[in-house]
Amino acid sequence: MLLRSPKVSALGEIGLDGQNGVGMGKQEALLRQCLAKADSTKPVILHIRGKVVQDVELNARCRTMAQKYLEKEQPIQLHCFSCEPGVFAAWRKVFPQVYASISGMVARFNPRQKQGLREIPLDRLLLETDSPYLPIVGKENRPHFVGDVASLVAAHRGERTQDVLAAANANCRSLFGL
């Protein structure tokens, strides 16, 4: 099976999206099929996006499905995580090897999302641009803007940008076995 190949580093991104026009029943059926094929030694990258960007209920639904198919120690990346308070802690309670990946959407975080961002332990934080999607306000999105994402994350968390970058780099290496 392709997922067992040493050339494959992860499964994903897979998940649930309330904004793409595809019925949730179809998405859930496909997600179950994908989760059932996951390799417990390789990260699963989950895309969870509700009608409002980070839907707490949709996260709970995806987490419940993941619990049925994945081992407790399954490495997971929550792609483009938008940080509602308590959501990351709920994931980490059932999947201790979960990481939250923050994108350029951080430029538009509301106060609740900023609070949720501060709840993510630094050793569980990843950075991404999701280029070409989700640009930082006023910019065409490119991968090299990850430093701008790091600066915004650091500012919201009250940390130094270089500390956020160093932690995200170490976390990425750990998650993907680099």
pLDDT for residue 162: 98
Position 52 scores a pLDDT of 62
pLDDT digits (tens, 9 = 90+) for 27-67: 999 999 999 999 999 999 999 987 665 578 899 999 999 99
What was the pLDDT predicted at 38? Answer: 96
pLDDT for residue 2: 73
CATH number of the domain located at residue range(s) 9-176 in this protein? 3.20.20.140
pTM: 0.93
Q: Characterize the bridge pairing of strands 44-49 and 76-79.
A: parallel
Residue 10: is its pLDDT beyond 80?
Answer: yes
Q: Can you say whether the dihedral through the CA atoms of 85, 86, 91, 97 is positive or negative?
A: positive
Give pLDDT tens digits for 99-155: 999 999 999 999 999 999 999 999 999 999 887 777 676 777 788 889 999 999 999
Question: Domain extents for the chain?
Answer: 9-176
54 close to 113: Cβ distance less than 8 angstroms: yes
Distance of CA 124 to the CA centre of its chain: 10
Quick one: pLDDT at residue 51?
A: 66
